[in-house]
Amino acid sequence: MNIAILCGGISPEREVSLSSAALIANALEEKGHKVCLCDVYVGLGEDTKITKELFRGDVKYSHKVSETVPDLDAVIAENGGRRELVGPHVIDLCRIADAVYLALHGGIGENGQLQAMLDIYGIKYTGSGYIGSLLAMDKDIAKTLMSEAGVPVPPGFVGSTDDPDIKDKILKMGLPCVIKPCSCGSSVGVSIIEKESELDPALEFARKYEKRILVEKKIVGRELTVAILNGRVLPAIEIIPKNGYYDYKNKYQSGLTEEICPAHITEAEANLLADETRRVFEALKLKTYARMDFILAKDGTAYCLESNTLPGMTPTSLVPQAAAAVGISYPDLCDTIIRLSLE
């Protein structure tokens, strides 16, 4: 097949996306496909001829995620200050492809906007549709739907960094707590607050990415993540950062986090996590594959933190590890995701 791989974009997770896309491209080539990598924001050159000659099967790709979140203003400046989120000829490329692999993380690639645009043109793409993507990306909506489905979620509230009383509201709820932007992934803008003096820096950090924030009580327990592929729940992975918490740097820099797969949990705990993963998948109307993040508290409650509709596929990412634990190689995983998306 000729597969267009969309990546990059104007998103704080841009670097993660570029790394995922490089590995996905190599894997799909290994499975006999031809690919064309396209940064959804940069697009193709204005004079590019949109033909099937753009798809290649003999190019090797690589991209290393930097330690810090990318400067999106600099990316925009490098592209002449263009504010359109979809670059030249992106849709034209997608229309001549047999399928589109969405290797995007965050932004329009994960909030349903790009999915809706592709739907308008009848273009097949990987992952969930625009409804599921929208529901899962907005942490406020997702949390409400998960709770209504009977899935435990951390207590908390949605607020604004512009609210002059936001600190008082947080202190009334009580510390320690977690502050996160409502529509970011990869722990971008996230802070764990243990004492009052940490509130101002945490609010300012979140505000860099979004004024609307989710504030939650910190749940003490084991951090676990569970992937689901075509209705099959894959083995849980326990995440143990060597320093601090599972932030952007610890996620994507090799060797900074211990990831135990399969996690050392009881059969009952594994069944509980699997049941809640399926419940979240259905409640958020997701398709093909996703990954759910949990905290398993000491009392045995599994609190769902969020769902990832286009989980990372970088060298340190978790879904490939879970797939490998049941004998699914990285190339087979990418190929399976493509084929399921065409059904």
50 vs 256: which has the higher pLDDT = 50
| 170 and 314 both lie in a single domain | no
Q: Spot the catalytic one: 186, 187, 191, 317.
A: 186
- Give the CATH number, domain containing residue 213: 3.30.1490.20
Q: Which of 300, 170, 147 is nearest to 224 (CA)?
A: 300
Q: Residue 193, Cβ neighbours under 10 Å: how many?
A: 20
Q: What is the pLDDT of residues 79-96, one digit of tens each?
A: 999 999 999 999 999 999
- Could you confirm whether 79 is annotated as catalytic? no
| 225 and 195 both lie in a single domain | no
| 242 and 269 both lie in a single domain | yes
Output the pLDDT for position 67: 79
Q: What is the pLDDT of residues 238-288, one digit of tens each?
A: 999 876 655 555 455 656 678 999 999 999 999 999 999 999 999 999 999
Q: Spot the catalytic one: 125, 252, 303, 330.
A: 252
Q: Spot the catalytic one: 19, 159, 291, 330.
A: 291
- Could you confirm whether 312 is annotated as catalytic? yes
Domain-located, residue 130? no
- Could you confirm whether 293 is annotated as catalytic? yes
Q: Which two tokens stand for residue 237?
A: 């992975």
Output the pLDDT for position 202: 94
Written as one string, the DSSP assignment of 167-208 is HHHHHHH-SSEEEEETT--TTTT-EEE-SGGGHHHHHHHHHT
Output the pLDDT for position 171: 96
Domain-located, residue 132? no
Let me know how long the chain is. Answer: 343
Give residue 316's pLDDT band: very low, low, confident or very high (50, 70, 90). Answer: confident
Q: Spot the catalytic one: 306, 307, 317, 330.
A: 306
Q: Spot the catalytic one: 101, 222, 312, 335.
A: 312
Q: What's the whole-number mean pLDDT along residues 8-21?
A: 92
| 160 and 275 both lie in a single domain | no
- Could you confirm whether 308 is annotated as catalytic? yes
- Could you confirm whether 250 is annotated as catalytic? no
Q: Spot the catalytic one: 13, 15, 110, 223.
A: 13
Q: What is the pLDDT of residues 184-222, one digit of tens each?
A: 765 788 999 999 999 999 999 999 889 999 999 999 999
Q: Spot the catalytic one: 29, 210, 223, 293.
A: 293
Q: What is the pLDDT of residues 153-177, one digit of tens each?
A: 999 999 999 999 999 999 999 999 9
| 146 and 292 both lie in a single domain | yes
pLDDT mean across residues, the chain: 93
Output the pLDDT for position 245: 57
In terms of residue numbers, what domain contains 197?
Answer: 156-217
| 113 and 12 both lie in a single domain | yes
| 312 and 241 both lie in a single domain | yes
Q: What's the whole-number mean pLDDT along residues 122-141?
A: 96
| 147 and 282 both lie in a single domain | yes
| 63 and 209 both lie in a single domain | no
- Give the CATH number, domain containing residue 225: 3.30.470.20
- Could you confirm whether 186 is annotated as catalytic? yes
| 210 and 226 both lie in a single domain | no
Give the Cα separation of 218 and 202 in Å (integer). 14
Domain-located, residue 343? no
Q: What's the whole-number mean pLDDT along residues 123-130?
A: 97
Output the pLDDT for position 244: 63
- Could you confirm whether 306 is annotated as catalytic? yes
Output the pLDDT for position 319: 96
Percent of the chain with pLDDT over 90: 85
- Give the CATH number, domain containing residue 76: 3.40.50.20
Give the Cα separation of 16 and 236 in Å (integer). 22
């000659």: which residue's tokens? Answer: 53
In the predicted model, is pLDDT for residue 4 greater than 70?
Answer: yes
Output the pLDDT for position 250: 47
Give the end of a domain, one of 217, 232, 251. Answer: 217
